[in-house]
Amino acid sequence: MATKATVSLIPGTGLNDETGALLTGFNWEDLMAFLTRRADDILELTRDHLVVVVVSVVLAAIIGIGLGILVRNRRIARTTVLTAAAVAITIPSLALLALLSPVLGLGWLPTVVALVFYSLLPVVRNTVVGLREVPVSVLESARGMGLGPTRILFTVQLPIAWPVIMTGIRVAAQLTVGIAAIAAYVAGPGLGEYIFKGLSSLGSKNALNYALTGTVAVIILALVLDGILVLVARLTTSRGLRA
Amino acid sequence: MTGPQVVPSATTMLRTQSAPRRGMPVLLRRLMPLIVVAVVLVLTYVWVSSLDLDSIEQRTLNADYITARIGEHLVLSIIASVLVAVLAIPAGIAVSRSRSKVFRGVVIGIANIGQATPAIGVVILLAIVWQTGFTTALLALVIYSFLPVLQNTIAGLAQVDPSIRESARGMGMTPSQVLRRVELPLASPVILAGLRTALVFAVGVATVATFINAGGLGDMIINGLKLQRYPVLVVGAILVASIAVLIDWAAGVVEDIVRPKGL
Amino acid sequence: MPDITTNTGVLTSLAAQQGGVDIVLDHITKQYPGQQRPAVEDFSMRVEPGELIMFVGPSGCGKTTTMKMINRIIEPTSGSIRINGDDVLSLDGNELRRHIGYVIQQIGLFPHFTIAENIAIVPKLLGWSKARIAERVDELLRTVQLDPGTFAQRYPRQLSGGQQQRVGVARALAADPPVMLMDEPFGATDPITREKLQAEFLRIQADIGKTIIFVTHDFEEAIRMGDRIAVLSDRSQIEQFDTPARILAEPANDYVRSFIGEGAALKRLALIPVTDARIGSADAAAPAVTVDEHSSLREALDTLVLTGAARVNVTRAGAVVGSIDQAAISAALGSEGPARRAEEA
């Protein structure tokens, strides 16, 4: 496990006595004991992390897909929404969380708001692109058969755009899992707590255990969540659309 | 490493959505981020000037302190990005050239794990295992920004039409000539997009570098939070956001200039 | 008797018609804003029930635009269109289109629906029962020579271009509309497949006799398939509107002549069966190669040229019943004039 942050990444530079001590001080049994003792804690944090991510992504999906549908044919509105979302994503997460804290305080609320904010760009952009990429011939034949615009949107365009939209949701989920870790600094829920505990207990024996556990748990969570979303995407996409 | 890989940013959105038509003139659209940031900064300045600052706030909200922090932030971000470019692009080329499926598989596997890794985790882990300070932050930034550039280099080279490559070889170009004169120019839009993403990531991660004593505008944000001095916090956050948007915009301009004509 | 003074009534009566209905276009014009000249200018035409009308013309002449105004995919700027005597411009567009078959060049099958689901679209919209729809899907797939067992549950991406085209036609026929609009429906296929599709379609039309507007830029296709051909020029102006035989025999002007190109006589011969010519008695000296009485005069001429003989024998069901020479063939061309016209009048 220690391979993540050791010699291979820092070839021959600056490994000082301190590092050496930490490295030799680190061992498997120690980590295992740490994990066993805190199993409940870790699971609870993981659950919180997952919940805050899912809530945010679901909200972002609803808002984002809705926005995407609304602006898909209106150039100015579309450009405005997409640009705003793109700017939002450029803002460093710590800054956004900090800006929200005077208004929304600390904890779950500003975290969810910030996460939804960041998730909007991938979802809206992919919704717009997906809807606009439906082949013109399909739309024309649909119209020629007498389907009205709303029916076309829901029975033709959205299903065909769905794989692209799901990709946007996956990107949003990955984004969110990482940013939620930072949100721990403003008392946000989740595994970021352990990562920051690692920081605050710097120099102590458990610092590495805390930070490592937090980071690795986040990685595993992100990968598992992505896997689940891939499965969901596959199950909800028509077999006729798979390339 | 969490973060969108090929997500176009604000100014790309503006460019790709437009062919000059009715609506805003192109120049205005191009300058929009600049204008918005300028307006926001001016408003912030006006707001701060109107406040009665206590001694703590005065120590932070003055030109010297702010300039120093901005400097630290920019130095960190830019050096990291340069390092990433120098390291990741050749790496991407090497991976593209490699015939070994195992090698590619490993790289893709690492990329997937990397995509899932939180930046803050990398920063703090490095600090624990090694030391706190500027160099560690630099290393964390390089590690974190490496992937988007690597992936985009690989993707950019992969999307070059094989028939173009073939006709170049057919004309007698050596593989390295084909790379330099044909493939890289054709792949450059995608590679530049990756560099741009890396730059924006760098600015973002540099913000949390404050946690490991690497300085930067994150200092203002943290201090503002810790000491409950909202003006400090807000100014720090706005400055960081503005720098991120401006750098993204500048990168977009460079992207447009460097892009080969005809693409 | 459906009340044809209301929209629903009109559409219901339209639905009840399965053989063709007539279509009357009256001074139709389409002017796009900002453009100098109209895309379609003052177009008038009457199509009889059950006719297969070809619109032929170069790209951009407005033929597709004209066709698309009949089902109001494009709305006319002025003029009126009546189907079966009813004014279609006063009906609800979506409802109207459910009663008109529409086939486009790129087909436009829904990629996320199975073949069966694709064909079932309009019947479902019209509220048919599941059983009736399933039966209809099977029937239609068989009509276009696709085995329902194999193809019904497949997806469009699993079918070849020619197969997709056939599904496109089946889909347009699904609700048994009295009118069909077809825009270069066989254009995206290779020549061999296209010929097969054309032959198949003619066979289907012989059975069902719908009123069809068929747009093409391929003059040969127009001659092969149409009951009447409208040769169109810019702004969808009608240069000539007549049967293939008469257009070939008497082109109205140089523009029409340019479509016919070389070999007008030979093309006409392809339209005349051997039985229409003067068949003499069997010739013992004729070569072994014979010509069936139902083949065209062009094939007869082809055989004559190939063998170099003076006469070739004509057969009916394999037995020789007479012979034919080049003079008889040429004479048949000449009689494609006043005598024929008198016959059809």
Report the distance separating Cα C27 and Cα C233, nearest Å.
16
Q: Shortest Cα distance from B155 to chain A (angstroms)?
A: 17
Residue B128: predicted pLDDT: 86
User: Which residue is associated with the tokens 């048919």?
Assistant: C128
Contacts of A82 in chain B (CB under 8 A): 13, 17
Burial of A8 (0-12, 13-18, 19+ CB in 10 A): exposed
If you measure CA to CA, which chain B residue comes closest to A185?
B222
Residue C313: how many CB atoms within 10 A of its CB?
24
Instruction: List the single best residue of B124, B147, B203 to mutate versus A (max A Cβ within 10 A).
Output: B124
Chain C interface, Cβ < 8 Å to A: 71, 73, 93-99, 102, 104-114, 121-122, 125, 155-157, 168, 171, 181
Average confidence score pLDDT of chain C: 87
CB-nearest partner of A195 from B21, B120, B203: B120
pLDDT at res. C18:
65
Q: What 3-state class would DSSP assign to C65?
A: helix
Size of interface A-C (CB pairs under 8 A): 76
Return the structure tokens found at C55.
């619109």
pLDDT of residue A222: 93
Burial status of residue C124 (CB atoms within 10 A of its CB: 0-12, 13-18, 19 or more): middle
pLDDT of C36 > 80? The answer is: yes
Q: Which residue, chain included where needed, has tokens 């460019």?
A: B15
- Residue A105: its H or E element: none
pLDDT (0 to 100) of residue A22: 52
Are 3 or more Cβ–Cβ pairs between A and B shorter than 8 Å?
yes
Contact (CB<8Å) C107/A147? no
List, in order, residues 6 or more apart from C335 with CB less than 8 Å away: none
Distance from C-alpha of A146 to C-alpha of C88, rounded to nearest angstrom: 14
Encode pLDDT of B139-153 as tens digits.
Answer: 989 988 888 888 889
| Nearest of A227, A228, A220, A226 to residue A42 by alpha carbon | A220
Q: Which two tokens stand for residue A210?
A: 């805390």
Cα–Cα distance between A171 and C146 in angstroms, integer?
42
Other CB atoms within a 10 A radius of the CB of residue C143 amount to 17
pLDDT-derived band at B25, boundaries 50, 70, 90: low
Contacts of C104 in chain A (CB under 8 A): 137, 140-141, 144
Summarize the confidence of residues A131-142 as an average pLDDT. 92
- Among A16, A87, A175, select the one facing B3 at the smallest CB separation: A175
Q: Which of residues 63-102 of B touch A (CB under 8 A)?
A: none
Instruction: Tell how strand C179-183 and strand C100-103 pair up.
Output: parallel
Cβ pair C256, C233 in contact under 8 A? no
Least confident of A18-27, C28-37, C55-64: A18-27
Q: Give the Cα separation of B155 and B149 in Å (integer).
A: 10
Half-sphere exposure of B17 (CA within 13 A, CB side): 30
> Tell me, what amino acid is at B191?
I
Distance CA A116, CA A180 (A): 11
C151 C-beta neighbours (distance < 10 Å), count: 20
CA distance C102 to C88: 16
Q: Cβ separation of B129 and A192 shorter than 8 Å?
A: no
Beta-carbon separation of A138 and C102 below 8 A: no
Average pLDDT over residues B27-34: 78
Q: What is the DSSP letter of A146?
A: T
What's the mean pLDDT in C44-51? 94
Mean predicted confidence (pLDDT) in B59-80: 88
How is C172-215 classified by DSSP, letter by letter? HHTT--SEEEEESTTTTS-HHHHHHHHHHHHHHHHHH--EEEEE
Residue C124's alpha-carbon distances to A103, B249, C119, C121, C247, in angstroms, are: 53, 52, 9, 5, 42
d(CA A119, CA A58): 10
Interface test with A, best of C70, C92, C95, C110 (most A CBs within 10 A): C110
Task: Calculate what percentage of chain C has a pLDDT beyond 70.
Answer: 93
Q: Structure pTM?
A: 0.78
Which chain C residue's Cα is nearest to A160?
C112
Please state, in angstroms and rounded to a whole number, the distance separating the CA atoms of residues A69 and B33. 25
- Nearest alpha carbon to residue B27 among B253, B255, B254: B253
Residue A162 tokens read as: 């769905």
Contact criterion met (CB < 8 Å) for A147 and C114: no
Phi, psi of B130 (to 5 degrees): -110, -95
Q: Give the pLDDT score at A23.
A: 54
> For the residues A208-224, what does the mean pLDDT come to?
91
Chain B residues whose CB is inside 8 A of the A95 CB are 207, 221, 236-238, 240-241
Closest residue in chain A to residue B139, using alpha carbons only: A10
Residue C47 near residue C211, CB atoms below 8 Å? yes
- In B, minimum Cα distance to A15 occurs at B130
| β-strand pairing of C40-47 with C311-316 | unpaired
Q: Is A120:A64 a contact under the CB 8 Å cutoff?
A: yes
Residue C270: its pLDDT value, please?
Answer: 86
Of B102-116, B192-206, C84-98, least confident by mean pLDDT is B102-116
Find the closest chain B residue to A82 by CA distance: B13
Contacts of B203 in chain A (CB under 8 A): 92
| pLDDT at A8 (0 to 100) | 38
Residue A183: pLDDT over 80: yes
Nearest by Cα to C29 from C82, C71, C65: C65
Distance between A203 CA and the closest CA of chain B, angstroms: 7
Is C110 close to A148, i.e. CB distance below 8 A? no
Q: Do chains C and A touch (3 or more CB pairs under 8 A)?
A: yes
Distance between CA C100 and CA C81 in Å, rounded?
Answer: 14
Please give the pLDDT value at position A5: 44
Q: What are phi and psi of B22, to 5 degrees?
A: -60, 155
Amino acid identity of A140?
A: E
Tokens of B228: 């409950």
CA distance C284 to B96: 78
| A172 sits in which H/E element | helix A158-183
Do the bridges between strand C86-87 and strand C78-83 make them parallel or antiparallel, or are there none, so unpaired?
Answer: antiparallel
What is the reported pLDDT for A10?
43
**Among candidates A91, A137, A86, A84, which has minimal Cα distance to A114?**
A91
